[in-house]
């Protein structure tokens, strides 16, 4: 095998592993969000976590003495901020008030297809027909699983989850592409800081006069808020964007197909939700599709 080809395969493998680490972190987002919104308003959970993560991001940027991003990078950073920092957390926080975490997690399974779609529409990557077939098959599996679990109908909050998926896919596609030049850590850090003028006034308004009630919300709610602030909103993206930069947005995005089933396991451990045998069967089917999707050609 030629050295260049070996290096390319090595980079792809590292990207997949880093992407999987990010997915493992993100898979607990919905269970912990559901814990948090049990005591806090969804808007506070969604935007408050962005504010906490922005503080961590500013400390990281100062420690690294990172230069300011170029003006050309600002539009993509704004899309990351809109999709991943504000849109997805806000809509899923609203949905978790009424949806079981395991149900919402399965709907998020269409995120890999949406990410590849946005990446293709923006001209970053050109997946082959075989890749699209595998992505469609995997997404059909998780959509069918959602309908199967809900008895053939969707909850009203499902629309909020699907909207969250579209916004997250936009942020993932743009952030993954920008990570190739700016670096994954800087992408999420600058996107978080870019959101502060929007989220800070809303968080202050939302929490005004509620500090005493919030302080007595209980360890369970604050544990959920802490996880989504530190891990879901900050640390997870370090792995995720670096993985997409190495392995490609569309290909590494396929790893997300296993996220619903990791989330179901997390919901069982954290919230005590039931795992059914059908969950295992669908998980095996989706993982098989991910393995086949990795073998399909994707051109940059």
pLDDT > 70: percent of the chain: 90
Res 5: pLDDT: 44
Phi-psi label, residue 65: left if phi above 0, alpha if psi -120 to 50, beta otherwise? left
Per-residue pLDDT of 94-136, as tens digits, reads 999 988 888 787 778 778 778 877 877 776 667 778 878 887 8
Handedness of CA 35, 41, 46, 51 (dihedral sign): negative
Distance, in Å, from the CA atom of 3 to the CA atom of 100, rounded to the nearest integer, reads: 49
For the ranges 8-12, 33-37, 41-45, 147-151, the lowest mean pLDDT is seen at 8-12
Which residues are within 8 A (CB) of 258 and not within 5 positions of it... i.e. 6 or more apart?
20, 23, 283, 286, 287, 290
For residues 279-297, average pLDDT: 73
Res 246: pLDDT: 84
Closest CA to 57 of 182, 176, 187: 187
In order, the DSSP letters of 236-250 are HHHHHHHHHHHH-HH
Q: Are 110 and 139 in contact (CB under 8 A)?
A: yes
For residues 274-297, average pLDDT: 74
Distance, in Å, from the CA atom of 17 to the CA atom of 20, rounded to the nearest integer, reads: 5
3-state helix, strand, coil in the chain (%, to 5): 80, 0, 15
Would you tell me how many other CB atoms lie within 10 Å of the CB of residue 25? 21
Under the banding of pLDDT at 50, 70 and 90, the label for residue 2 is very low
Res 133: pLDDT: 85
Would you tell me how many other CB atoms lie within 10 Å of the CB of residue 249? 32
Res 146: pLDDT: 72
Res 274: pLDDT: 82
Distance, in Å, from the CA atom of 253 to the CA atom of 178, rounded to the nearest integer, reads: 15
Res 10: pLDDT: 66
Res 127: pLDDT: 72
Pairing state between β 126-127 and 298-299: antiparallel
Spell out the domain ranges in the chain: 6-299
The answer to whether residue 55 scores a pLDDT higher than 70 is yes
The answer to whether residue 24 scores a pLDDT higher than 70 is yes
Average pLDDT in the chain? 84
Per-residue pLDDT of 58-73, as tens digits, reads 999 999 999 999 999 9
Res 197: pLDDT: 94
Q: Where are the beta strands (DSSP E) in the chain?
A: 126-127, 298-299
Per-residue pLDDT of 157-216, as tens digits, reads 888 988 999 999 999 889 888 888 888 889 999 999 999 999 999 999 888 877 777 777
Res 300: pLDDT: 58
Handedness of CA 87, 90, 96, 98 (dihedral sign): negative
Backbone angles phi, psi at 298, to 5 degrees: -135, 120
Cα angle 135, 137, 138 (rounded to 5 degrees) comes to 65
The answer to whether residue 266 scores a pLDDT higher than 80 is yes
For the ranges 9-13, 89-93, 271-275, the lowest mean pLDDT is seen at 9-13
The answer to whether residue 8 scores a pLDDT higher than 60 is no
Quickly tell me which residue has 């308004």 as its tokens.
205
Q: Record the pTM.
A: 0.84
Distance, in Å, from the CA atom of 264 to the CA atom of 258, rounded to the nearest integer, reads: 10
Per-residue pLDDT of 227-245, as tens digits, reads 999 999 999 988 988 888 8
Phi-psi label, residue 287: left if phi above 0, alpha if psi -120 to 50, beta otherwise? alpha
Handedness of CA 10, 232, 256, 191 (dihedral sign): negative
Distance, in Å, from the CA atom of 64 to the CA atom of 61, rounded to the nearest integer, reads: 5
């Amino acid at each position: 095998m030629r050295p260049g080809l070996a290096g390319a395969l090595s980079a792809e493998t590292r990207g997949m592993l880093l992407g999987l680490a990010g997915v493992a972190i993100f898979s607990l987002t919905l269970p912990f969000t559901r814990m948090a919104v049990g005591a806090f308003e969804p808007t506070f959970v969604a935007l408050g976590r962005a504010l906490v993560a922005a503080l961590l991001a500013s400390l990281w940027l100062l420690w690294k003495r990172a230069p300011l991003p170029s003006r050309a990078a600002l539009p993509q950073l704004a899309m990351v901020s809109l999709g991943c920092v504000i849109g997805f957390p806000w809509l899923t926080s609203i949905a978790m008030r009424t949806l079981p975490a395991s149900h919402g997690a399965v709907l998020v399974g269409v995120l890999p297809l949406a990410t590849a779609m946005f990446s293709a529409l923006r001209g970053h990557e050109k997946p082959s027909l075989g890749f699209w077939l595998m992505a469609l098959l995997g997404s059909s599996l998780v959509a069918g699983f959602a309908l199967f679990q809900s008895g053939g109908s969707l909850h009203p909050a499902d629309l909020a989850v699907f909207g969250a998926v579209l916004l997250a896919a936009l942020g993932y596609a743009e952030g993954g592409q920008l990570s190739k030049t700016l670096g994954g850590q800087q992408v999420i850090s600058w996107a978080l800081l870019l959101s502060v003028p929007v989220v800070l006034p809303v968080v202050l308004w939302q929490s005004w006069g509620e500090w005493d009630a919030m302080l007595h919300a209980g360890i369970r709610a604050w544990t959920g808020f802490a996880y989504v602030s530190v891990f879901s909103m900050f640390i997870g993206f370090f792995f995720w964007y670096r993985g997409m930069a190495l392995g490609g947005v569309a290909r590494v995005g396929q790893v997300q197909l296993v996220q619903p089933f990791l989330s179901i396991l997390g919901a069982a451990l954290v919230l005590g939700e039931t795992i059914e045998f059908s969950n295992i069967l669908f998980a095996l089917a989706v993982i098989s599709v991910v393995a086949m999707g990795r073998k399909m050609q994707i051109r940059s």
